[in-house]
DNA sequence: GCTTCGGATTAGTTTTTCTTATCCAAAAAT
DNA sequence: ATTTTTGGATAAGAAAAACTAATCCGAAGC
């Protein structure tokens, strides 16, 4: 069959299924669902007019034809990997692809990148700003910086920095007829919530902070909700209410006087920033160097 | 790069473009538009972070990295072709994939296939019923049977059978207050048109037939239109009017008495049935044998 | 006998790939 | 020197492919 007609994606599914003798494991390998593999194999069998697997309920057996085809197919994929590795080899020595949350990207990482480029002028840092965790098997990402509890299975994890969370607001809220002076005064203000981790009870939040401060909270307080931390902090800068801010996100606004910390109560939180990457990425000097720089920056912070 | 992340379709575009040093020719090779190739290459360059071609207005030059990657990539595709050929080898010896119009499929070819299976019990004939011509570069089709003028560039073409077209109608239209007896009587009936070839003035049609019969046609005759020949003939069986039928399509209804030929005028037409296939398909014994059988059936017809 | 597991399938969603239309600049033709 | 032709670039929208979610099934495991 001419290469223009080769069903390449289905052949990749077949290759994975044949290697694992399992659609479930092939799916994990290729970062798709078992249904996707099943459908690809079925479609390939129909297209080629040949059975590739015999299904015995929960397991698979390769047919004879499939067994014969496996060796050249594997060789084919290996040659393609080699070709792509050749293409990228001259380039990737200087590229670091890092995944961080949008808030952390704009408020902490990107403002500091100039310092990394001074340290390594030929470097290229590609920042992937996303709120999703990285699936390193499916995404072309070198490392991630994640705010959480640090429980990332199967990956190299090291703490980058811990930080506190505390109320911040516009200086305007400290004045006027209803000034914000004590934690109890918060009940008269609009609380600005960051819902990034609303599904995780151990994530820092207003209810948690208020409880730690010993403030009894009645029902139905005025509230604003945002899906990123930076947006919540922006709303505070705009005088919309009081946000519970992380220092890394709020630092520039605090320094500039756009935000103030009305009272000093910072609560201890379980969450911290972690560097996350596949173990084998650490072998690359450029990754190791970037991590070293991150730690330097976090230490100086 | 691991094989789960290889952009396989883009690599195929790259392979073709590199072989031809032309997006236009690569597009023809892969049966897509040049825009598709251009977009795939651009996307691949961005994804890999490496330039593959230098564009000098109307021509392409491979970059050094691309030149180095070409040999393993070509090997990769060759291995995959080999694998797929192994998969299909044991099967395709008995399979013939034939593309015909839906009308011809249902009225002529499929009713006769039993005779082919008697001749060759292990055969598998896959009938692709479509009104479109076959693009043999893009479609997995062995041969086509097409009604037309036989002008199919770059392909092996041989006539299968010529046939006439003539009016047919339900026997009921020959009776009653307004019996159909002469060509002039057609003007009192509903003409049933097959619009399959309405864009081709040389295709057989009612205007052509009436002109040959010397019947002057006024404006605004009652008419029915269908997009396949078989549907037009079905409407005639239902007594909806008079169709201009091809013998291959109408033969069974005529034999069964569901249709009659009110008058014998059959006009000569430029169109005929042709067998069409790529030259190299003729090397396959199973294709040659199928063609031989088709000719036998058409000769006996 | 009940629970768990992995494959099968359908329907709907998302992503990828493609086509169409238009633009551009240089080569080719006049 | 001017006009025409050509092949690549790009954007918008359409079509096709690939995927996910949900559900079902039957056999293995408990």
Q: Is the pLDDT of residue A235 over 70?
A: yes
Least confident of A19-28, A159-168, B90-99: B90-99
A76 touches chain B (CB under 8 A): yes
At the second CATH level, the architecture of B93-162+272-300 is 3-Layer(aba) Sandwich (3.40)
Q: Is the pLDDT of residue B166 over 70?
A: yes
Q: Do A138 and B83 touch (CB under 8 A)?
A: no
Determine which helix (DSSP H) or strand (DSSP E) holds B212, and give its type and residue range: helix B206-212
Q: Is the pLDDT of residue A301 over 70?
A: no
- Distance from CA(B51) to C1'(D8), angstroms, rounded: 15
The average confidence (pLDDT) of chain A is: 88
- pLDDT of A67 reads 92
Q: Best mutation site among B2, B3, B7 for testing chain A: the one with the most A CBs within 10 Å?
A: B3
Q: Which chain B residues touch A83 with a CB distance below 8 Å?
A: 11, 69-73, 76
Q: Do A12 and B6 touch (CB under 8 A)?
A: yes
pLDDT, tens digit, 9 for 90 and up, residues A268-294: 778 889 999 988 888 888 899 999 999
Best-predicted range by mean pLDDT (A126-135, B135-144, B246-255): B246-255
- pLDDT of A225 reads 86
Q: Do B83 and A77 touch (CB under 8 A)?
A: no
Matching CATH topology for B3-91 and B165-256? no
Q: How many CA atoms lie within 13 A of A47 on its CB side?
A: 19
Q: DSSP letter string over A26-89?
A: HHHHHTS-HHHHHHHHHHHHHHHTS--EEEETTEEEE-HHHHHHHHHHHHHHHHHHHHHHHHHH
Q: Do A47 and B75 touch (CB under 8 A)?
A: no
pLDDT, tens digit, 9 for 90 and up, residues B30-73: 999 999 999 999 999 999 988 999 888 788 999 988 999 999 99
- pLDDT of B13 reads 97
At the second CATH level, the architecture of A3-89 is Orthogonal Bundle (1.10)
Query: What residues 21-50 of chain B have any CB closer than 8 A to a CB of chain A?
Result: 29-31, 47-50
pLDDT, tens digit, 9 for 90 and up, residues A34-64: 999 999 999 999 999 889 999 888 889 999 8
Nearest to B87 among A65, A81, A138 (CB): A65
State how far the Cα of B206 lies from the Cα of B215, in Å rounded to an integer.
Answer: 11
Domain extents for chain B? 3-91, 93-162+272-300, 165-256
- pLDDT of B79 reads 96
ipTM of the complex as predicted: 0.65
Q: Is the pLDDT of residue B265 over 80?
A: no
A67 min Cα distance to partner chain B (Å): 9
- pLDDT of B68 reads 92
Q: What are residue A244's DSSP bridge partners?
A: A167
- pLDDT of A274 reads 93
- Distance from CA(A42) to C1'(D28), angstroms, rounded: 24
Q: Is the CB of B180 under 7 A from strand C?
A: no
CATH class of A92-160+272-299: alpha beta
- pLDDT of A155 reads 87
Q: Is the pLDDT of residue A300 over 80?
A: no
Q: Hey, what CATH topology would domain B3-91 get?
A: Arc Repressor Mutant, subunit A (1.10.10)
The average confidence (pLDDT) of chain B is: 88
Q: To which residue do tokens 């509903």 refer?
A: B190
Nucleotides of strand D under 7 angstroms from a protein beta carbon: 6-12, 17-22, 26-28
Q: Is the pLDDT of residue A90 over 70?
A: no
- pLDDT of A72 reads 96
- Distance from CA(B36) to C1'(D15), angstroms, rounded: 13
Contacts 24+ apart (CB under 8 A), A250-256: A250/A107, A250/A168, A251/A107, A251/A108, A252/A107, A252/A111, A253/A168, A254/A168
pLDDT category at A91 given cuts 50, 70, 90 is: low
Q: Looking at the C1' of nucleotide C8, which residue has the nearest alpha carbon?
A: A38
* pLDDT average, residue stretch B254-271: 85
A42 min Cα distance to partner chain B (Å): 14
A3 touches chain B (CB under 8 A): yes
User: Which is more confident, A43 or B128?
Assistant: A43
Domain B165-256 CATH superfamily: Periplasmic binding protein-like II (3.40.190.10)
Measure the CA angle with vertex A165, ends A163 and A168; round to 5°: 130
* pLDDT average, residue stretch A176-198: 86
User: Which is more confident, B180 or A80?
Assistant: A80
B75 φ/ψ sector (left φ>0, alpha ψ -120 to 50, else beta): alpha
Q: To which residue do tokens 């040093």 refer?
A: B21
Q: Is the CB of A54 under 7 A from strand C?
A: no
Q: Is the pLDDT of residue B144 over 90?
A: yes
- Distance from CA(B16) to C1'(D10), angstroms, rounded: 21
Domain A165-255 has CATH 3.40.190.10: yes
Q: Do A8 and B5 touch (CB under 8 A)?
A: no
* pLDDT average, residue stretch A110-124: 89
Q: Is the pLDDT of residue B77 over 90?
A: yes
Q: Is the pLDDT of residue A199 over 80?
A: no
How large a percentage of chain A has pLDDT more than 90? 41
Q: DSSP letter string over A126-167?
A: EEEE-SSPP-TTTS--SEEEEEE----TTSEEEEEE---EEE
- pLDDT of A35 reads 96
Q: To which residue do tokens 């598998």 refer?
A: B124
- pLDDT of B301 reads 66
- pLDDT of B20 reads 94
State how far the Cα of A181 lies from the Cα of B213, in Å rounded to an integer.
Answer: 104
Tell me how many helices (H) and strands (E) chain A has: 10, 11
Q: Which residues touch strand D (CB under 7 A)?
A: A 7-10, 13, 27, 30-33, 35-36, 39-40, 43, 57-58; B 22-24, 34-35, 38-39, 41-42, 53, 55, 57-60
pLDDT, tens digit, 9 for 90 and up, residues B172-215: 998 888 888 888 888 888 899 988 777 677 788 898 888 888 88
């Amino acid at each position: 069959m001419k290469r223009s007609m080769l069903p390449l994606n289905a052949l990749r599914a077949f290759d994975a299924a044949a290697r694992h003798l399992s659609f479930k494991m092939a799916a994990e390998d290729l970062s798709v669902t078992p249904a996707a593999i099943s459908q690809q194999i079925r479609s390939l069998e129909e297209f080629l007019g040949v059975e590739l697997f015999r299904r015995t309920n929960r397991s698979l057996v390769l047919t004879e034809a499939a067994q014969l085809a496996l060796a050249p197919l594997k060789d084919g994929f290996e040659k393609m990997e080699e070709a792509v590795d050749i293409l990228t080899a001259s380039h990737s020595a200087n590229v670091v692809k890092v995944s961080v949350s949008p808030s952390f990207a704009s408020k902490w990482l990107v403002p500091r990148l100039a310092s990394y480029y001074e340290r390594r002028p030929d470097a290229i840092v590609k920042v992937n700003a996303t709120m999703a965790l990285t699936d390193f098997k499916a995404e072309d990402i070198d490392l991630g910086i994640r705010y959480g509890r640090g429980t990332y299975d199967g990956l190299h994890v090291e703490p980058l920095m811990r930080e506190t969370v505390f109320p911040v607001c516009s200086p305007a809220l400290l004045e006027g007829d209803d000034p914000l002076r004590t934690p109890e005064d918060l009940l008269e203000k609009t609380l600005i919530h960051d819902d990034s981790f609303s599904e995780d009870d151990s994530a820092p939040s207003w209810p948690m902070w208020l409880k730690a401060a010993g403030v009894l909270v009645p029902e139905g307080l005025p509230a604003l909700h945002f899906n990123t931390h930076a947006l919540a902090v922006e709303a505070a800068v705009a005088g919309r209410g009081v946000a519970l801010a992380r220092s890394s996100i709020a630092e520039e606004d605090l320094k500039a006087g756009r935000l103030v910390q009305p009272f000093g109560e910072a609560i201890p939180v379980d969450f911290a920033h972690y560097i996350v990457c596949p173990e084998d990425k650490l072998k690359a000097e450029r990754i190791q160097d970037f991590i070293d720089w991150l730690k330097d920056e976090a230490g100086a912070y």
